[in-house]
Amino acid sequence: MSQTVRQIAELRNSVRRWRRKGESIAMVPTMGALHAGHLALVEAARQSADRIIVTIFVNPAQFAEGEDLGRYPRAEAGDLEKLRPFDPDIVFAPSAEEIYPQGFDTAISVGGPSSGLESDTRPQFFTGVATVVTKLLLAGLPDLATFGEKDYQQLLVVKKLVRDLNIPTTIIACPTIREPDGLALSSRNAYLSADERAAAPLLFETLGKLAGQIGGGAAIDDATAQATGDLERAGFDIDYLTVRNARTLEPVSDPATEPLRALVAARLGSTRLIDNVAVPRNSDADK
């Protein structure tokens, strides 16, 4: 049965025991409010490592003033229940004080893929993510850690962080898990009213259509403008809807040869949703 651990020192004791036995370790960092997307990350971790650490920590440093830190869903008992069938070795659920003790004052900024998109509306977001991910990875020193493609920009930032700082962990990307109607699973979906929930799948539908058009040779600007109109008419308030280089998130200069990703962030009422899909290669369209 999983052990719930609150202290970094205690986590390290377990890790040290496992290491002495030559066991490999995977970490699944989460903010709790677990859904099937998180559980898929745990499952992926299980396939590649002997020991699994699931972390549950709602990181204050990645919420801006006025964001939903206060109302972000917290449900540890339910989370532990959901994790039970996956039997992680440790659920690491530290207090904010354990991660950010008095006097804490260090920040990690990652350039490259962190600029624009999410950063346009949440300027401190990726510094908060990079700092807490570094702390969690260094607390457990896992061989690998799983992150979801749902937060695609975050995934690229974490990969770059780990490479740039020589953090000895391999980052494994896992595909987005979706509702049957296509809506990407997110803890924030719980905020949606019934009407908003009914409208929400259009986000993925529109992204998929956009990606298909561009993969089929349509001009990025035209296809994006059309998709933007579709979403706005359905009541979405769009922060960004864009097609970028899938590895750098830079604007596309050569659509024929670059790997491409379509990404969106939009509000339905007061709920902000994000999603992204790969653009199929032109060559795929010829098949």
Which residues bind to its own copies, rule: CB under 8 A?
8, 12, 19, 103-112, 130-131, 134-135, 138-139, 141, 160-161, 164-168
Residue with Cβ nearer its own copies (165 or 190): 165
Residue 28: CB minimum distance to its own copies, A: 18
Catalytic hit among 29, 38, 52, 184? 38
Q: Does the active-site annotation cover 35?
A: no
- Judge whether 251 and 104 are in contact, CB under 8 Å: no
Minimal CA–CA distance to 206: which of 242, 170, 169? 242
Residue 153: CB minimum distance to its own copies, A: 15
Minimal CA–CA distance to 264: which of 278, 247, 276? 276
Residue 104: CB minimum distance to its own copies, A: 5
Maximum distance among all Cα pairs of the chain, rounded to whole angstroms: 59
Task: Annotate 202-240 with DSSP letters as a single string.
Answer: HHHHHHHHHHHHHHTT--HHHHHHHHHHHHHHTT-EEEE
Residue with Cβ nearer its own copies (95 or 270): 95
Q: Dihedral of CA 204/42/249/282: which sign?
A: negative
Give the separation between CA 227 and CA 218, rounded to whole angstroms.
12
Residue with Cβ nearer its own copies (47 or 166): 166
Residue with Cβ nearer its own copies (168 or 175): 168
Residue 261: CB minimum distance to its own copies, A: 18
Q: Dihedral of CA 105/161/44/208: which sign?
A: positive
Could you list the active site residues? 38
